[in-house]
Structure 1
Amino acid sequence: MLLALLLCYGGFTALCLSMDRHHGELLGRQPSARRRKTFKLGGWLLLAVSLWAAVAKTGWGLGLVEWFAVLMLSALLLVLLMPYRPRLALALAGLSLLASPVAVLAQ
Protein backbone atom coordinates (compact mmCIF):
# COMPACT_ATOMS: atom_id res chain seq x y z
CA MET A 1 0.00 0.00 0.00
CA LEU A 2 3.00 2.29 0.55
CA LEU A 3 3.93 2.01 -3.12
CA ALA A 4 0.42 2.96 -4.20
CA LEU A 5 0.47 5.95 -1.84
CA LEU A 6 3.80 7.20 -3.17
CA LEU A 7 2.73 6.81 -6.78
CA CYS A 8 -0.65 8.47 -6.19
CA TYR A 9 0.95 11.49 -4.57
CA GLY A 10 3.44 11.81 -7.41
CA GLY A 11 0.66 11.43 -9.97
CA PHE A 12 -1.53 14.08 -8.38
CA THR A 13 1.43 16.45 -8.15
CA ALA A 14 2.21 15.90 -11.83
CA LEU A 15 -1.42 16.63 -12.70
CA CYS A 16 -1.20 19.72 -10.52
CA LEU A 17 1.91 20.86 -12.40
CA SER A 18 0.09 20.44 -15.71
CA MET A 19 -2.08 23.45 -14.79
CA ASP A 20 -0.76 26.91 -15.65
CA ARG A 21 -1.44 28.44 -12.25
CA HIS A 22 0.23 25.78 -10.16
CA HIS A 23 3.13 25.33 -12.55
CA GLY A 24 3.87 29.04 -12.40
CA GLU A 25 3.52 29.10 -8.63
CA LEU A 26 5.78 26.12 -8.01
CA LEU A 27 8.37 26.39 -10.77
CA GLY A 28 8.29 30.13 -11.50
CA ARG A 29 7.43 30.02 -15.19
CA GLN A 30 4.53 29.15 -17.43
CA PRO A 31 4.61 25.68 -18.99
CA SER A 32 4.82 25.09 -22.69
CA ALA A 33 2.12 23.02 -24.34
CA ARG A 34 4.48 20.06 -24.65
CA ARG A 35 5.48 20.23 -20.99
CA ARG A 36 1.83 20.50 -19.94
CA LYS A 37 0.98 17.37 -21.95
CA THR A 38 3.99 15.54 -20.50
CA PHE A 39 2.95 16.32 -16.93
CA LYS A 40 -0.63 15.32 -17.66
CA LEU A 41 0.38 12.03 -19.27
CA GLY A 42 2.87 11.30 -16.50
CA GLY A 43 0.30 12.02 -13.81
CA TRP A 44 -2.30 9.71 -15.29
CA LEU A 45 0.34 7.06 -15.88
CA LEU A 46 1.45 7.22 -12.24
CA LEU A 47 -2.16 6.92 -11.08
CA ALA A 48 -2.67 3.88 -13.33
CA VAL A 49 0.51 2.25 -12.04
CA SER A 50 -0.62 2.92 -8.47
CA LEU A 51 -3.89 1.12 -9.23
CA TRP A 52 -1.90 -1.81 -10.58
CA ALA A 53 0.30 -1.83 -7.45
CA ALA A 54 -2.72 -1.88 -5.13
CA VAL A 55 -4.56 -4.58 -7.06
CA ALA A 56 -1.48 -6.76 -7.56
CA LYS A 57 -0.83 -6.92 -3.84
CA THR A 58 -4.30 -7.79 -2.48
CA GLY A 59 -6.52 -8.62 -5.45
CA TRP A 60 -9.37 -6.71 -7.04
CA GLY A 61 -11.77 -6.82 -4.10
CA LEU A 62 -9.60 -5.28 -1.42
CA GLY A 63 -7.12 -3.66 -3.80
CA LEU A 64 -9.69 -1.25 -5.21
CA VAL A 65 -10.82 -0.25 -1.72
CA GLU A 66 -7.24 0.35 -0.62
CA TRP A 67 -6.50 2.26 -3.82
CA PHE A 68 -9.46 4.59 -3.32
CA ALA A 69 -8.36 5.20 0.27
CA VAL A 70 -4.82 5.96 -0.85
CA LEU A 71 -6.15 8.14 -3.64
CA MET A 72 -8.16 10.24 -1.20
CA LEU A 73 -5.33 10.45 1.32
CA SER A 74 -2.76 11.62 -1.21
CA ALA A 75 -5.16 14.14 -2.76
CA LEU A 76 -6.03 15.48 0.70
CA LEU A 77 -2.37 15.85 1.58
CA LEU A 78 -1.67 17.73 -1.64
CA VAL A 79 -4.72 19.98 -1.23
CA LEU A 80 -3.72 20.86 2.33
CA LEU A 81 -0.08 21.54 1.43
CA MET A 82 -0.57 23.61 -1.73
CA PRO A 83 -1.94 26.82 -0.15
CA TYR A 84 0.43 26.90 2.81
CA ARG A 85 3.60 25.02 1.84
CA PRO A 86 3.74 24.64 -1.96
CA ARG A 87 7.49 24.01 -2.03
CA LEU A 88 7.10 21.24 0.55
CA ALA A 89 4.40 19.66 -1.63
CA LEU A 90 6.80 19.66 -4.57
CA ALA A 91 9.66 18.28 -2.47
CA LEU A 92 7.44 15.49 -1.12
CA ALA A 93 6.49 14.54 -4.68
CA GLY A 94 10.14 14.23 -5.62
CA LEU A 95 10.86 12.18 -2.52
CA SER A 96 7.87 9.95 -3.18
CA LEU A 97 9.09 9.17 -6.68
CA LEU A 98 12.60 8.52 -5.40
CA ALA A 99 11.31 6.27 -2.61
CA SER A 100 8.99 4.22 -4.80
CA PRO A 101 11.72 1.79 -5.98
CA VAL A 102 12.54 1.17 -2.32
CA ALA A 103 8.84 0.48 -1.68
CA VAL A 104 8.88 -2.04 -4.54
CA LEU A 105 11.74 -3.89 -2.89
CA ALA A 106 9.99 -3.76 0.50
CA GLN A 107 6.94 -5.63 -0.84
Structure 2
Amino acid sequence: MMRTLLSTLALTLVATAAAAQVGPPTSQRTCGANRQLVMREGAVVLDTGPSTYARFVKNGSECLVDQFPEPAWVPSSNNPQCFIGYRCKDGSDDF
Protein backbone atom coordinates (compact mmCIF):
# COMPACT_ATOMS: atom_id res chain seq x y z
CA MET A 1 0.00 0.00 0.00
CA MET A 2 2.77 2.41 0.96
CA ARG A 3 4.66 1.57 -2.22
CA THR A 4 1.62 2.41 -4.36
CA LEU A 5 1.13 5.69 -2.53
CA LEU A 6 4.78 6.67 -3.01
CA SER A 7 4.65 5.75 -6.71
CA THR A 8 1.53 7.84 -7.21
CA LEU A 9 3.09 10.79 -5.39
CA ALA A 10 6.26 10.56 -7.47
CA LEU A 11 4.29 10.48 -10.74
CA THR A 12 2.23 13.48 -9.63
CA LEU A 13 5.36 15.50 -8.86
CA VAL A 14 6.93 14.65 -12.22
CA ALA A 15 3.74 15.59 -14.10
CA THR A 16 3.46 18.88 -12.20
CA ALA A 17 7.07 19.82 -12.91
CA ALA A 18 6.64 19.07 -16.60
CA ALA A 19 3.50 21.21 -16.83
CA ALA A 20 5.27 24.17 -15.18
CA GLN A 21 8.09 24.30 -17.73
CA VAL A 22 8.15 27.22 -20.11
CA GLY A 23 8.62 26.45 -23.79
CA PRO A 24 11.08 28.06 -26.19
CA PRO A 25 11.35 31.87 -26.33
CA THR A 26 8.77 33.72 -28.42
CA SER A 27 11.59 34.66 -30.81
CA GLN A 28 11.97 30.99 -31.76
CA ARG A 29 8.31 30.60 -32.80
CA THR A 30 6.40 32.34 -35.57
CA CYS A 31 4.06 35.20 -34.76
CA GLY A 32 1.06 33.01 -35.62
CA ALA A 33 2.24 30.17 -33.38
CA ASN A 34 2.73 32.55 -30.43
CA ARG A 35 -0.69 34.12 -30.94
CA GLN A 36 -2.36 30.74 -31.35
CA LEU A 37 -0.84 29.54 -28.07
CA VAL A 38 -2.28 32.51 -26.18
CA MET A 39 -5.69 32.08 -27.82
CA ARG A 40 -5.77 28.34 -27.07
CA GLU A 41 -4.64 28.61 -23.44
CA GLY A 42 -6.44 31.85 -22.56
CA ALA A 43 -3.56 32.93 -20.31
CA VAL A 44 0.05 31.80 -20.56
CA VAL A 45 3.49 32.77 -19.26
CA LEU A 46 6.04 33.00 -22.06
CA ASP A 47 9.80 33.44 -22.28
CA THR A 48 10.33 36.80 -23.99
CA GLY A 49 14.11 37.05 -23.72
CA PRO A 50 17.11 36.18 -21.56
CA SER A 51 15.68 35.70 -18.05
CA THR A 52 12.52 37.60 -19.03
CA TYR A 53 9.03 36.14 -18.69
CA ALA A 54 5.60 37.69 -19.01
CA ARG A 55 1.96 36.62 -18.72
CA PHE A 56 -0.17 37.12 -21.81
CA VAL A 57 -3.95 36.78 -22.06
CA LYS A 58 -6.41 36.49 -24.92
CA ASN A 59 -8.80 39.11 -23.51
CA GLY A 60 -9.75 41.10 -20.42
CA SER A 61 -11.75 38.26 -18.89
CA GLU A 62 -8.42 36.66 -17.92
CA CYS A 63 -7.43 39.73 -15.85
CA LEU A 64 -8.25 40.39 -12.20
CA VAL A 65 -11.16 42.67 -11.32
CA ASP A 66 -8.93 45.70 -10.70
CA GLN A 67 -6.90 45.18 -13.89
CA PHE A 68 -7.41 46.07 -17.54
CA PRO A 69 -6.04 44.47 -20.74
CA GLU A 70 -3.28 46.35 -22.55
CA PRO A 71 -2.16 45.30 -26.06
CA ALA A 72 1.13 43.39 -26.05
CA TRP A 73 3.77 42.75 -28.69
CA VAL A 74 6.68 40.28 -28.55
CA PRO A 75 9.55 39.43 -30.88
CA SER A 76 8.91 36.33 -32.99
CA SER A 77 10.94 34.47 -35.60
CA ASN A 78 9.19 36.26 -38.46
CA ASN A 79 8.11 39.58 -36.91
CA PRO A 80 10.06 41.79 -34.48
CA GLN A 81 6.79 43.26 -33.16
CA CYS A 82 4.20 40.49 -33.14
CA PHE A 83 0.81 41.32 -31.57
CA ILE A 84 0.31 38.37 -29.25
CA GLY A 85 -2.72 39.45 -27.23
CA TYR A 86 -2.82 41.44 -24.01
CA ARG A 87 -1.09 41.89 -20.67
CA CYS A 88 -3.08 42.64 -17.54
CA LYS A 89 -2.21 46.01 -16.06
CA ASP A 90 -3.23 47.37 -12.68
CA GLY A 91 -5.92 50.02 -12.76
CA SER A 92 -5.18 53.49 -11.51
CA ASP A 93 -6.59 54.72 -8.19
CA ASP A 94 -6.43 58.30 -9.49
CA PHE A 95 -9.69 59.84 -10.67
TM-score range, shorter chain: under 0.3
TM-score normalised by the chain length of structure 1: 0.23
**Greater helix fraction, Structure 1 or Structure 2:** 1
Larger RCO, structure (CA 8 Å, separation 6 or more): 1
**Greater strand fraction, Structure 1 or Structure 2:** 2
